Structures are given as structure tokens and as C-alpha cells.
Chain A
Amino acid sequence: MDLLHFLSFSFIQRAYIAGGFIAILCAVLGLFLVLRKLSLIGDGLSHVSFGAIALGLFFGFYPFYVAVPLVLLSSFLILKLTEKAKIYGDAAIGIFSSVGIAGGVILASLSRGFNVDLFSYLFGNILAISAGEVIFSIILSVVVLIVIWFFYNDLFSVTFDESYAKATGIKTGAVNAVLISLTAVTVVLAIKVVGIMLVSALLIMPAVAALQISKGFKSAMFISALFAVISVLVGITVSFFLNIPAGGAVVMVNAFILLLSFIFKRRS
């Protein structure tokens, strides 16, 4: 099969478009998360999504309509637990992560019917994305990117030096709430591309690779987005031709780019 024929498939076009948007979103947001040492929040929230998606399937709702509000709520609770109960962030993430998985497993066992569907969410299947889901992904991606643009300087300041940002009157609590809620929405979106198990890779790997070679924050954002888009497009293409899962292929391309960036950094 030649490339033009491959590109003419509408499911490939949908996967490229939705995957590209979500990749840019993950890469930009991931940079803030990695620098704030919040990389694993993607992992924790994706596990919460597992429980939320199971809940949606259990009651026969469209899973993402249940996952978006529930994961958003969990992200705020993680933030509040960290701030008010003086629990370390990783412990708070661990608690919600466990509860999410436990809830999902219990619901799956009770339902006796949707285990196959739930499994597809664990590892994602971007090639099966519908036209409606593409539009949903584009709209949410654009909204999240606009919010990041709007709060860019505050996010920059808080990420660089939180106590200084607070001393200059920036409402750091509100900025943290914005960051964590954007992450919640992004995690749910990214599940479609790489699945629950691999979603944190899309948030972490392009950002870490970009930080190896960038010479400024804006260039890091651009490079991170570029790496993420390349990994998604190449991952989808490779998965089609080699008949392997798209989520796994995207992550492996990311790992390869990360390796190259480490080598480039060492040589330069």
C-alpha cells in the first residue's frame, strides 16, 4: 500500500487530526507539569479516569461525559488535600489513583459485560476515533490552549519560583487550580490516543526531551509540541503498517526521540 492510499483513509485522517491536537496540548501542559515536579499527576488522574469510565459504561453513559467532570473533581480534591491536610502531593495522587483503579475493577466485575470496552480504554485506540470525538478533541484542545495562553505569564512565574510569584501578588492557589484542571481535561482527552496506562508518557516524554536541547522556555514549548506531534503521527503510521497497537507505538517513538535528545545533549 502506498502512502497516498494510506492517507486517503478517513479513519487515518481523523486519527492524525485529533492525535495532533492532543499531542500539542499534552506537550505544552506537560512542560509546566514536569518543571513543577507534578509529572505523575497525569498517571494518577488517568487511573481515576479508569474508575470514571467504568462508571460511565456501568450506567450506559458515554464514558468521556462521566470522566471529564469526575476527573476534574478529583484533581481539585488532590489539590485541596495537598494544601489543607498538609499531605505531600505524591501521596494525595497515590490515594486517588488507587481509589480510581479499585472502583473500576469492582464495577467491571459487577457488570459482567463491558470488560472488553474497558480494556480498549486501558491501551487506547486512536484509529477507532469517531468524527464526533475528533470535533470534541479539537474544541477542548483549543479551549485548553487558549486558557494556557491567557495565564501564560502567571504559569511561567509560579513554575519558576512560586514564593516569589506569591510575593508579587499572583494568586498562586488559583494558578495551581487552573493548571491542575487543565491537566484533568487533557488526561481524559489523551486516553483516546494512548490509553489510560500510557497517558503520562505523552505528558512527560516530549517535555523532558525538549528540556534537553532547548535554550529558553518558549523554544522548549515549541520543541516539546513538535516532538509530541511527530511521535503521534509516526506512531499511528507505524502501528498501521506493522499492525501493532497505536498507543504503544506512539510511546515507543517518544522514547526513541528522548534517547536522541539525550545523545544530542551529550555531544553538544
Chain B
Amino acid sequence: MPVISVKNIDFGYGSTSVLENISFDVERGDYIALVGHNGSGKTTLIKILLGLEKCRQGSVKIFGEEINKFDHWDKIGYLPQVTSSFNPLFPATAEEVASLGLLSKKRYPKRLNKNDKAATKKALAMFGVENLKDRLVSELSGGQQQRVFLARAMVSGPEILILDEPSTGLDPQARDSFFEIIKKVNQDKKTTVIFITHDVGNVGKYANKILFLDRQLIFYGKLSEFCESGEMTGHFGEFSQHLICHQHHEHHQHESKE
């Protein structure tokens, strides 16, 4: 059974159509790069998968359950864009922020116990920011904030991880380190990963599937299929397609040697 199943969804604002007739299935352990130009509907699609937007028609199922009935949100970890998301004046510590990922599991009054605190510390440690747990998030660097938010997304032990432009604001070293961590989570725990990116360099290096959106679904499949598609050369440009495929090939070879 696919972990996410999207069938014929349409979405729009008023008379403006944003997504048209989108269908795809996501299998457990997939690592999917969601790519497309600005305004192609990537973030809208993510919002639909998170239940933040309702599509006009079509169906979205998460773990086989219609999204409007789905309530196991602890199974989905979400990393929003750092720059557009949180309130920077809020005096929250890294530990407090990371623990927010546990709330969807809790019943009112949603008090966190010792086990929750231990899970939060473990999640922060997983991303190397345990030593920052008492620091205010607003005082951390972009890369450190990103790791804290990733700990928040991972603290409940999700089976699906959805990342919205996770490399925004990160320097190349921090970006590579970030994607390596996600790759490890994907491989070790079979966590399904869907990430939006404008950086084609990351696509070939880390993803095993690519979903190319331009209001409609232009391409969805394995990287190897993408590399062989002449049609994609027309959509993507020869250079971008070559870069993705070259990096995919190199990374694959590197992993095989290891």
C-alpha cells in the first residue's frame, strides 16, 4: 500500500487554477525531490498533503485513509521554510521548539512527561544541537535553527518527512551536512522523504525519485527514468538534466564503492 496516494486533484483560488489533475503514489522509503518553477504549485501540493489546504476535487489518502479523516499527524514530520515560518520575537528555547513535534500525539492538557523530554533530547542530539537546547531559537544561526526544526519534525518518529526548501539560507557545507543527515534517516529508518528544492545539485545527489510540477504533473518517476527521458531535456534544459544525472551517477558509484 502506498504511504501517500493522490488521485486526480485540482486546486485553485477563485478562477485561478493552481493544480490540475495531479495523480501519484508515494511508496515507503521513497526520497522524492519536488521540483518546478516559481508558481508551479509545489508548496500548494505540500500544503494539501499536510491538510492545510483542501483540494477542489480528487482524493488524497495518507496510509490508506482519506486526508479529512486522517488524524495520526505524529506520523508526518514537517519542516517549513525557516525564513517564512516562525515568530522571531518569540522567546522559545531550542528544547521547547523541538518538543512541539510531540503535541499531535498528546491528549489534553497535552503535558510533556520525562519520556517526552528524553525523546526531545535524543532528537536534538541526532542533529548535533543538544548543546543548544537552552538557547533561544531566535539567537541561533540559520543552520542551527534548521537543525532544531528538523529535530522538531523528527521527534515523534515520523514515517513521512516533508521538507519545504530545506536548504534555503544554508551555506554549501551546512547544506551538504543537512542532506546527509536526511539521507541517513531515509536509509536507516526507511522514512519516506519529500523535499521541495530549487537547487538541482541536491536532486541527483540525494533523491531516488523526482516529481516535476508545472501546475500539472510533468514527470514523476525514478531518477534513472528521468535521465533517459528526452522529453525532460526539453522541459528542464540540457544543462540541468545533465547536472542532476551526473551527480546521481557519481553519488551512486560512490555509495557502491563504500
- Report which A residues bind B (CB closer than 8 A): 35, 149-154, 156-157, 159-161, 163-170, 211, 214-217, 219-220
Taking CB atoms, residues of chain A closer than 8 Å to B76 are 167
Count chain A CB atoms within 10 A of each CB in B78, B100, B104, B109 and give the residue with the most: B100
CB distance from A238 to the nearest CB of B (A): 30
Q: Find chain A residues with CB under 8 A from B73 CB.
A: 167-169
Task: Add 4 more A-B contacts to A35-B89, A170-B103 (CB < 8 A).
Answer: A153-B112, A167-B76, A169-B104, A216-B134
Contacts of B106 in A (CB 8 A): 153
How far, in Å, is B108 (CB) from chain A's closest CB?
6
Binds A, one of B25-33, B79-87, B167-175, B177-185: B79-87
Residues of A within 8 A of B87 (CB): 35, 159-161
CB of B51 within 8 Å of the partner chain: yes
Tell me if B92 and A154 are in contact (CB < 8 A).
no
Q: Decide: B85 and A217 in contact? CB cutoff 8 A.
A: no
B91/A169 in contact, CB under 8 A: no
Asked if B93 CB lies within 8 Å of chain A CBs, one says yes
Return chain A residues, CB-CB under 8 Å to B97: 160
Residues 98 to 139 of chain B near chain A (Cβ within 8 Å): 100-101, 103-104, 106, 108-112, 134, 136
From residue A214, how far is it (CB to closest CB) to chain B in Å? 5
Residues of B close to A216: CB separation below 8 A: 91-93, 96, 134, 136
Q: What are the 5 closest A-B residue pairs judged by CB atoms, nearest first? A: A169-B73, A153-B110, A161-B86, A167-B50, A168-B104
Q: Smallest distance from the beta carbon of A237 to chain B beta carbons, Å? A: 31
Residue B52 interfacial (CB < 8 Å): yes
- CB-CB < 8 A to A168: which residues of B? 73-74, 78, 100-101, 103-104
Which of B52, B92, B134 meets A217, CB within 8 Å? B92
Pick 22 A–B contacts, CB within 8 A, sort by A: A35-B87, A35-B89, A150-B109, A151-B108, A151-B109, A153-B100, A153-B106, A153-B112, A156-B96, A161-B100, A163-B52, A163-B80, A164-B152, A166-B50, A166-B51, A167-B76, A168-B74, A168-B101, A170-B104, A214-B91, A216-B92, A216-B96
> Taking beta carbons and an 8 Å cutoff, which residues of B are in contact with A?
50-52, 71, 73-74, 76, 78, 80, 85-87, 89-93, 96-97, 100-101, 103-104, 106, 108-112, 134, 136, 152
Cα distance A219–B93 in the bound complex, in angstroms: 11
Taking the closest CB of chain A, its distance from the CB of B87, in whole angstroms, is 6
Provided the pairs A152-B109, A160-B92 are in contact, do residues A169 and B71 lie with their beta carbons within 8 angstroms? yes
Complex CA gap A154/B107 in Å reads: 11
Q: Are A161 and B71 in contact (CB under 8 A)?
A: no
CA distance A216 to B99 in the complex (A): 14
> Contacts A153-B103, A169-B73, A217-B91; is A164 near B86 (CB within 8 Å)?
yes
B90 touches A35 (CB 8 A): yes
Which residue from chain A places its CB closest to the CB of B149 in the assembled complex? A164
Asked if residues B80 and A160 are in contact (CB atoms below 8 Å), the reply is no
Asked whether, in the complex, the Cβ of A167 is within 8 Å of the Cβ of B90, the reply is: no
* CB closest chain-A residue, reference B97: A160
Shortest CB distance A34–B (Å): 8
